[in-house]
């Protein structure tokens, strides 16, 4: 679940949207790379994230596996506090992953993939996915996207979806002293559009 998403590629646009939505002064280091021409991000690809301290940094999508084979690019919200793999990063490794939309493929009954859908906010601005970040053995930053159970409207496509945070919950998620329960999925208007059918009617879903 959540294996592709879109991110703005212009640093100024990202910073403006982040500051507008989050009411935070986000620091974007000059050395941060914004030279990618394709906005679609896949596991193993470097993209910008916002870490505790309100700093935007480049990071690679996916935690390196314990055996060094492959990446763990999603973390289940339900088990964050009990997973030996993720719990150590829940205290100081929380991050936000800015995106303009994310992709999902239909999960068919026969186990095969169906159509690819682009899911994004109807207002056309930035959404924020909850994530966890850490430094790997080479001291490079890597991150994973937190997922939760899909809303009833999206379950026909897939049973899981990214944990999308409202500005208020996003600020709490980045707080150094966050306590209390993990944020819930906010209610937001989204567009769901098949990527292979540009002329097909867009369905607006509220979740």
> Where in the chain are the domains?
4-206
Whole-structure pTM value: 0.80
Asked whether 35 and 44 are in contact (CB, 8 A), the reply is no
| pLDDT(198) > 60 | no
pLDDT of 206: 32
pLDDT beyond 70 at 171: yes
Higher local confidence (pLDDT), 197 or 92: 92
pLDDT at residue number 31: 54
Burial class (CB in 10 A: 0-12, 13-18, 19+), 166: middle
CATH of 4-206, one of 3.90.1680.10, 3.90.550.10, 3.40.50.1000, 3.40.190.80: 3.90.1680.10
pLDDT one-digit tens code per residue, 43-91: 998 888 999 988 888 899 999 988 878 899 999 999 998 999 999 999 8
pLDDT of 166: 82
Query: Higher-confidence residue: 3 or 77?
Result: 77
Local confidence band at 201 (pLDDT 50, 70, 90 cut-offs): very low
**More reliable by pLDDT, 181 or 115:** 115
Percent of the chain exceeding pLDDT 70 equals 73
Mean pLDDT, rounded, for 107-129: 80
Residues 6 or more apart in contact with residue 160 via CB below 8 angstroms: 1, 2, 74, 76, 147, 148, 149, 150
């Amino acid at each position: 679940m959540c294996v592709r998403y879109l991110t703005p590629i212009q640093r100024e646009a990202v910073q403006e949207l982040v500051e507008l939505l989050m009411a935070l002064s986000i620091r974007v280091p000059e050395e941060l790379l914004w030279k990618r021409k394709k906005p679609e991000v896949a596991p193993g690809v470097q993209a910008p994230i916002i870490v505790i301290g309100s700093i935007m940094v480049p990071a690679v999508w996916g935690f390196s596996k314990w055996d060094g084979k492959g990446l763990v690019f999603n973390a289940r919200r339900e088990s964050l506090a009990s997973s030996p793999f993720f719990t150590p990063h829940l205290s100081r490794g929380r991050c936000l992953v800015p995106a303009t939309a994310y992709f999902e493929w239909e999960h068919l009954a026969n186990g095969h993939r169906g159509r690819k859908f682009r899911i994004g906010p109807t207002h056309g601005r930035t959404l924020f996915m909850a994530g966890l970040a850490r430094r790997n053995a080479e001291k490079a930053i890597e991150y994973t996207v937190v997922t939760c159970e899909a809303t009833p409207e999206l379950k026909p496509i897939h049973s899981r979806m990214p944990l999308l945070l409202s500005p208020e919950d996003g600020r709490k998620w980045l707080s150094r002293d966050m306590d209390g329960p993990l944020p819930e999925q906010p209610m937001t208007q989204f567009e769901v559009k098949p990527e292979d059918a540009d002329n097909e009617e867009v369905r607006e879903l509220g979740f």
